[in-house]
Amino acid sequence: MIHHRLTRRQMIQLGVGAAAGIGAIPRPRGTDLSLLQSSESGGDLAANMAQQPSLKYQAIASGLIYGAASSMKDLKNDQPFQTQFVRECQMLVSEWELKWDAVRPTPSTYNFAAGDWLVQFARSHGLLLRGHTLVWHWLPQWFEQTVNRQNAERFLTEHITTVAKRYAGQVHSWDVVNEAIHLDDGRADGLRNTPWLQRLGPDYIEIAFRAAAKADPKALLVYNDYGLEYDNRDDEAKRSAVLKLLERLKSKNVPVHAFGMQSHLMGHEARLNPGKLRRFLSDVASLGLKILITELDVVDQNLPKDIVVRDRIVATAYERYLSVALDEPAVIAVITWGLSDRYTWLSRFYPRKDKLPVRSLPLNDKLDRKLAWSAIAQSFKGRSSR
């Protein structure tokens, strides 16, 4: 989850510069009109975008996986959306269906109906599947009163074993532990004071990864976190704490195989430091870990009203971030947290004060490709296959 607030300096920094680094793209069919209005070259900005290979294929050509998070409710009931999802994505991430509050209605029961549907959907459409997430601090209502120090390890290992075993062999990667670092909680190790930490201490993370490795030896096991992208004191401190956590886990031979960098970008936040970001990714990779960009989107909450300007800032945020991140050979996947503005968590969690629909993802709410789409596509282009 992201908790950035605009500083006065950031407000002043807020530029509306052209979408730097985005080459002119010929006019497409079925394109978001804002692209045509915004083109400096008389509407040629996206002449044939509709014919361009999908993000899926452009990522494959660069040795990457592109995918997006989605949910049964969106995929099952919206055929046009489903069609675009399968066209653009090689990977599907369960936005909700495999979380505790989805699969654990009560302490003694599991409900896999939604999870099974999503796994079946992925299989029947040839999509790789990412499982999200086996351990997080967002827990069902019953947890607080039911799970205590004495039974916490049993609850944790039984949950992971039951869920991961059910889908063993069908999951490309699991976010085993999500968002375990939270420096505001004041611990020297930076660990978030989650219900799991309160009951099991820091070892809950190792317990989780070992249980996941036993339950599904084929899945790539990922530690996933956010708030690491920018050149500010908080992100710098969090990068250091995450790196130390990963180093500790690797030094104890804990089976963590990859790091998931959520990458919820701030459209208004101009301060990327390419050197620091690249150094962090390189340090993570030097631990022998793969890296996935797991929840990429751009918060446009404080961006200008004008959608042409807003689309450019959003596209620039994608282009600047990915042009650095994809320099790291250990990065294997780019996943956006949603594919279309029609379905994004940002509408609810980071709504605009002017109540205008957010415009954060590669496709607009009519499922047309936007400048953001071309920025992501451009970042894949010209990358030699890894």
Enumerate the H helices of 89-232 as residue ranges. 100-103, 113-124, 143-146, 152-166, 195-200, 204-215
Check binding of 97 to ligand XIL (CB under 6 A): no
Tell me, yes or no, if 179 is annotated catalytic.
yes
The DSSP element (H or E) to which 300 belongs, if any, is none
Check binding of 1 to ligand XIL (CB under 6 A): yes
Q: How far is the CB of 384 from ligand XIL (least distance, A)?
A: 31
CB atoms within 10 A of CB 248: 14
Query: Which residues are registered as beta bridge partners of 224?
Result: 178, 260
Question: Distance between CA 357 and CA 235 in Å, rounded?
Answer: 28
Q: How far is the CB of 175 from ligand XIL (least distance, A)?
A: 7
Locate tokens 């104890």: which residue? 252
Q: How far is the CB of 60 from ligand XIL (least distance, A)?
A: 25
Closer residue to ligand XIL (CB): 57 or 117: 117
Q: Please state whether beta strands 91-94 and 331-336 pair in parallel, antiparallel, or not at all (unpaired).
A: unpaired
Ramachandran region of residue 49, left (φ > 0), alpha (ψ -120 to 50) or beta? alpha
Closer residue to ligand XIL (CB): 60 or 139: 139
CB atoms within 10 A of CB 52: 18
Is residue 176 a contact partner of residue 222, using CB atoms and an 8 Å limit?
yes
Using the rule CB under 6 A, which residue among 74, 88, 95, 97 binds ligand XIL?
95
Tokens representing 13? 């920094």
Closer residue to ligand XIL (CB): 46 or 191: 191
Contacting ligand XIL within 193-252 (CB under 6 A): none
Contacting ligand XIL within 253-292 (CB under 6 A): 262
Closer residue to ligand XIL (CB): 136 or 380: 136
Check binding of 295 to ligand XIL (CB under 6 A): yes
Q: How far is the CB of 375 from ligand XIL (least distance, A)?
A: 21
**Residue number, nearest CB to ligand XIL:** 345
Tell me, yes or no, if 95 is annotated catalytic.
no
| Interface characters, 336-355, with ligand XIL (x: CB under 6 A) | ---------x----------
Closer residue to ligand XIL (CB): 74 or 311: 74
Q: Please name the amino acid found at residue 366.
A: K
48 Cβ neighbours under 8 A, 6+ residues apart: 25, 26, 27, 28, 29
Q: How far is the CB of 62 from ligand XIL (least distance, A)?
A: 25
Q: Is the bond preceding 133 in cis, omega lying within 30 degrees of 0?
A: yes
Catalytic one among 88, 95, 97, 179?
Answer: 179
Check binding of 54 to ligand XIL (CB under 6 A): no
Closer residue to ligand XIL (CB): 73 or 279: 73
Contacting ligand XIL within 153-182 (CB under 6 A): 178
Q: How many CA atoms lie within 13 A of 205 on its CB side?
A: 26
Locate tokens 């399968």: which residue? 86
Closer residue to ligand XIL (CB): 262 or 378: 262
Question: Distance between CA 34 and CA 132 in Å, rounded?
Answer: 34
| Interface characters, 358-377, with ligand XIL (x: CB under 6 A) | --------------------
Tokens representing 258? 């990859």
Catalytic one among 88, 95, 229, 295?
Answer: 295
* Residues touching ligand XIL, count (CB under 6 A): 7
Q: Please name the amino acid found at residue 343.
A: Y
Is residue 129 a contact partner of residue 172, using CB atoms and an 8 Å limit?
yes
Catalytic residues: 179, 295
Interacting residue ranges for ligand XIL, rule: CB under 6 A: 1, 95-96, 178, 262, 295, 345
